[in-house]
Structure 1
Amino acid sequence: MKTARRLENLGTETAFRVAQAAADWKGAGNRVYPFHLGDLNFPMAGHIVEAMDKAIKDGKTGYCPGPGIPELRAALAEDIGTRRGMRIDPSEVIVTTGGKPVITKFLQAVMDPGEGVLYPNPGFPIYESQIEYLGGTALPYRYVPTADGFAIDLDHLRASIDENTTAIIYNDLQNPISAESTDAEREAIAAIAQEFDLWVLSDEAYFEMRYKGRSKSIAALDGMRERTVILYTFSKKFAMTGSRLGCAVASRQIAEAISTMNTNDESCTTHYVQWAGIAALQGPQAPVGQMLEVLRKRRDATCSIINSIPGMSVAVPGSTFYVFPDVTEAMESKGITSLADFSTEALHNTGVSFCTREHFGRRQGWEDRQYIRLAYSGIGEADITEGLGQLRDWITQG
């Protein structure tokens, strides 16, 4: 029987395919060092688990309001607003089943078929997937390497805008490349959005996953509040990836639209998980700091070893839990021309499993360097040292 043609435009989060290849290799009796998936191998804090259990025991297992329970919406408004220097009303907060649905619902709210949406490339692959699935035109904007990591090519971004462009997806503290905007870059994006009257999705999944300094939100800049939707998630900061809890912060016009979509799509976000979210926001924050300290040590170990491998180099990122090293010369030294082949050969010869640039949006014609992404969120420091040591030995064998 026939299926809908739109399915041809639906991509996926291809990191899960790498995970399957790693699982198959491990299942065959081989050692695997898992750098491929951005999940966290930290347990949810005890007070969050207790709050969820209590909510279940208290009978909070049925339907609840589609936009979220009032207590969580109020807690989110207070926490998100305080950390960004904004005043947010609880009515502007719509609870969702994780951060990812905010991408789809933002696009459904602001983009008609045929309209263009700018998105980062390399970037989270669901941006590209959902723009095209919903009938939009995906407009990739690029990053250029700098001594400190990567910066948005603002001239290229501006040149990509035409009369049909309606929105821009902006992921400060970016997955996969860990790029963080300077104040000047953030202000330039805001100016472009206002000049061309664009909606903005500010994906702030990693807003508090940083090792120094303080994050800033584009939504807090003058003229940006009404045109910006903030994507917030509990997954990273509170190690709640499987709990599926997040929210959109938006003007009431967009908030009401997303609330209606919630009712149509999921009815509501799991009731008892929302009470766990309140405990996460209002309870002890020490577990967050402890997790970040462990991640910082993993980052340092990862970057130190990568930069000791001939033909590989990476800037030390100040946020997220990813690195995006240039491996161009390392591949050449092994006589490998395909990133897919490099990934497979590395897995089979060293046990190190990672994603490549090809997993984060379609490769563009302007790209002439080769990159891989290593996530250190789910692998301990000892295994980082051992696994990347194996990778170094393999590379240096020539």
Structure 2
Amino acid sequence: MALAERLTRLGTETAFAVSLAANEWGAKGHRIYPFHLGDIDLATPSVVTEAMNKAIAEGKTGYCPGAGVPVLREALAEDTNARRGTTYTADNVVVQPGGKPVITKFLQAVMNPGEEVLYPNPGFPIYESQIEYLGGVAKAYRYVPTERGFAIDLDQVRSLITPNTRAIIYNDLQNPISAESTDAEREAVAQLAIEHDLWVLSDEAYFEMRYSGESKSISALPGMAQRTVILYTFSKKFAMTGWRLGAAIAPLDIARVISTMNTNNESCTTQFIQYAGAAGLTGDQTGVKAILETLRGRRDAAFDVLSTTKGIHIAKPESTFYLFPDVTEAMAHKGVDEVNAFATEALHATGVSFCTRKHFGRPQPGEERQYVRFAYSGLPEEDIREGLGLLKQWIES
């Protein structure tokens, strides 16, 4: 029997394919250094786990409101306002089982089949997957390298907007390239959204995963709160990747729609996990600070080795937990001209597993340089230095 035609347009998170290849190589007895998947191997702060256990003991294991329990929605609104300078209330917050559902529900709420949505490329592959799966037209905008990292090609963004463009997905503190907008770039994106009456999905998954400076949200700019949906997730800050807890923070009309979608899709997010998340936001922050400091040390370790490896060029990011170096010269030195083949050879020679630019959207015309992504969130510093040291030796040999 035939399956639905739309399934032909459904993509996936391709980092998991790299994980499969790494696991297969490891099953043959080889040591693996897993830089491919942006998971966190650190413990969730005790304030969160203790609150979960307390909620379970108190019987908070049944259904709850589709939009989320009031204590969490209120805590999220207060925390968001304090960190972003916004004026949301609990009514603007709709709790989700993770951050990913916000992407799908945002698109379902604002995009009709055949309408265009702009999205970052390289970028999180689920953007492209969901736009096309839901019948939209995915239009990729690119980044250009600068001395400080990467910047959005604003001229290209302008050229992509048509009367059929409905929304733009904007990922400040970006996965995979760790790019962070300047104030001028953020304001330019906001101005384009206002000028062309576009909805904005502001993916802020890494808003608090930063090592210096202060994060800013496009939603706080004049005229943006009423057209922006913030994607919030507990996965990064609280090392809760497997707990599946997030939220859409949205204008009231969109919040109500997404709440109805919750009722249709999953009824509600697990109740006792919501109480745990509320405790994380309002309770002792010692564990959160420890996670960030550990990640800082891992970033420094990875950068130290990669930045001194012949043929690798990299800027030092102040946010996320990824490094996205240019490996064009390293590939040429090894006599490899295809980036995925380079990754495979590196895995077999050193055990170091990483994603490539091709795992984060279809390469755009004119791309000449080759990039790979290292996620350092799942390895201790000792393993980072050891694994990347082996990679350095292999590249330079």
Q: TM-score, normalization: structure 2?
A: 0.99
- 1:94-146, CA deviations, whole angstroms, 9 ceiling, x for partnerless residues? 00001110000000000000000000000000000000000000010000000
Superposed displacement of residue 86, structure 1? 1.0
- The alignment status of 1:191 with 2:191, answered yes or no, reads yes
Superposed displacement of residue 225, structure 1? 0.7
- 1:195-237, CA deviations, whole angstroms, 9 ceiling, x for partnerless residues? 1000000000000000011100000000101000000000000
Report the Cα distance in structure 1 between the residues aligned to 2:46 and 2:203, rounded to whole angstroms: 28
- The alignment status of 1:178 with 2:167, answered yes or no, reads no
- The alignment status of 1:132 with 2:154, answered yes or no, reads no
- The alignment status of 1:93 with 2:93, answered yes or no, reads yes
Report the Cα distance in structure 2 between the residues aligned to 1:271 and 1:289, rounded to whole angstroms: 26
The one-letter code sitting in structure 1 at the alignment partner of 2:140 is P
- The alignment status of 1:378 with 2:371, answered yes or no, reads no
Report the Cα distance in structure 2 between the residues aligned to 1:286 and 1:158, rounded to whole angstroms: 44
- The alignment status of 1:301 with 2:298, answered yes or no, reads no
Superposed displacement of residue 81, structure 1? 1.1
Q: Which residue of 1 aligns with 2:208?
A: 208
Report the Cα distance in structure 1 between the residues aligned to 2:168 and 2:130, rounded to whole angstroms: 13
The one-letter code sitting in structure 2 at the alignment partner of 1:108 is Q
Q: Which residue of 2 aligns with 1:102?
A: 102
- The alignment status of 1:61 with 2:61, answered yes or no, reads yes
- 1:63-99, CA deviations, whole angstroms, 9 ceiling, x for partnerless residues? 1100001111111111111110111110010000011
Conservation of the 8 A alpha-carbon contact between 2:356 and 2:373: yes
The one-letter code sitting in structure 2 at the alignment partner of 1:236 is K
Q: Which residue of 2 aligns with 1:32?
A: 32
The one-letter code sitting in structure 2 at the alignment partner of 1:327 is V
The one-letter code sitting in structure 1 at the alignment partner of 2:135 is G
The one-letter code sitting in structure 2 at the alignment partner of 1:322 is Y
- The alignment status of 1:42 with 2:38, answered yes or no, reads no
Instruction: Name the SS of the counterpart of 1:242 in structure 2.
Output: coil
Alignment of 1:200-239 (within 5 A): 200-239=200-239
Instruction: Name the SS of the counterpart of 2:242 in structure 1.
Output: helix
Report the Cα distance in structure 1 between the residues aligned to 2:67 and 2:152, rounded to whole angstroms: 34
Q: Which residue of 2 aligns with 1:313?
A: 313
Alignment of 1:206-285 (within 5 A): 206-285=206-285
Report the Cα distance in structure 2 between the residues aligned to 1:379 and 1:330, rounded to whole angstroms: 24
Report the Cα distance in structure 2 between the residues aligned to 1:284 and 1:366, rounded to whole angstroms: 49
Superposed displacement of residue 307, structure 1? 1.4
Report the Cα distance in structure 1 between the residues aligned to 2:243 and 2:56, rounded to whole angstroms: 14
Report the Cα distance in structure 1 between the residues aligned to 2:286 and 2:323, rounded to whole angstroms: 25
Superposed displacement of residue 287, structure 1? 1.2
Q: Which residue of 1 aligns with 2:287?
A: 287
Q: TM-score, normalization: structure 1?
A: 0.99
Superposed displacement of residue 308, structure 1? 1.2
Unpaired runs of 5+ residues, structure 1, are none
Report the Cα distance in structure 2 between the residues aligned to 1:395 and 1:175, rounded to whole angstroms: 25
Q: Which residue of 1 aligns with 2:341?
A: 341
CA RMSD between the two structures: 0.6
Instruction: Name the SS of the counterpart of 1:169 in structure 2.
Output: strand
Q: Which residue of 1 aligns with 2:392?
A: 392
Alignment of 1:341-360 (within 5 A): 341-360=341-360
Worse-matched range after superposition: 235-244 or 294-303: 294-303
Superposed displacement of residue 254, structure 1? 0.2
Conservation of the 8 A alpha-carbon contact between 2:93 and 2:247: yes
Instruction: Name the SS of the counterpart of 1:119 in structure 2.
Output: strand
Q: Which residue of 2 aligns with 1:141?
A: 141
The one-letter code sitting in structure 2 at the alignment partner of 1:288 is V
Superposed displacement of residue 309, structure 1? 1.1
Report the Cα distance in structure 2 between the residues aligned to 1:318 and 1:307, rounded to whole angstroms: 15
Conservation of the 8 A alpha-carbon contact between 2:328 and 2:371: yes
Report the Cα distance in structure 2 between the residues aligned to 1:233 and 1:307, rounded to whole angstroms: 31
Worse-matched range after superposition: 191-200 or 52-61: 52-61
- Any runs of at least 4 consecutive aligned residues in structure 1 with deviations exceeding 2 A, and if so which? none
Report the Cα distance in structure 1 between the residues aligned to 2:307 and 2:277, rounded to whole angstroms: 39
Instruction: Name the SS of the counterpart of 1:222 in structure 2.
Output: coil
The one-letter code sitting in structure 2 at the alignment partner of 1:352 is V
Superposed displacement of residue 57, structure 1? 1.3
Q: Which residue of 2 aligns with 1:160?
A: 160
Report the Cα distance in structure 1 between the residues aligned to 2:318 and 2:170, rounded to whole angstroms: 18
Instruction: Name the SS of the counterpart of 1:185 in structure 2.
Output: helix
The one-letter code sitting in structure 2 at the alignment partner of 1:5 is E
Q: Which residue of 2 aligns with 1:15?
A: 15
Report the Cα distance in structure 1 between the residues aligned to 2:46 and 2:208, rounded to whole angstroms: 20
Report the Cα distance in structure 1 between the residues aligned to 2:391 and 2:180, rounded to whole angstroms: 28
Conservation of the 8 A alpha-carbon contact between 2:46 and 2:287: no
Instruction: Name the SS of the counterpart of 1:241 in structure 2.
Output: coil
- 1:175-198, CA deviations, whole angstroms, 9 ceiling, x for partnerless residues? 000000000000000000001000
Instruction: Name the SS of the counterpart of 2:151 in structure 1.
Output: strand
- 1:357-381, CA deviations, whole angstroms, 9 ceiling, x for partnerless residues? 0100111112111000000000111
- The alignment status of 1:325 with 2:325, answered yes or no, reads yes
Instruction: Name the SS of the counterpart of 2:297 in structure 1.
Output: helix
Conservation of the 8 A alpha-carbon contact between 2:172 and 2:180: yes
Conservation of the 8 A alpha-carbon contact between 2:36 and 2:355: yes
The one-letter code sitting in structure 1 at the alignment partner of 2:352 is V
Report the Cα distance in structure 2 between the residues aligned to 1:18 and 1:98, rounded to whole angstroms: 22
Number of residue-to-residue matches in the alignment: 397
Report the Cα distance in structure 2 between the residues aligned to 1:81 and 1:55, rounded to whole angstroms: 26
Conservation of the 8 A alpha-carbon contact between 2:105 and 2:261: yes
Superposed displacement of residue 291, structure 1? 1.2
Worse-matched range after superposition: 107-116 or 337-346: 337-346
Worse-matched range after superposition: 18-27 or 269-278: 18-27
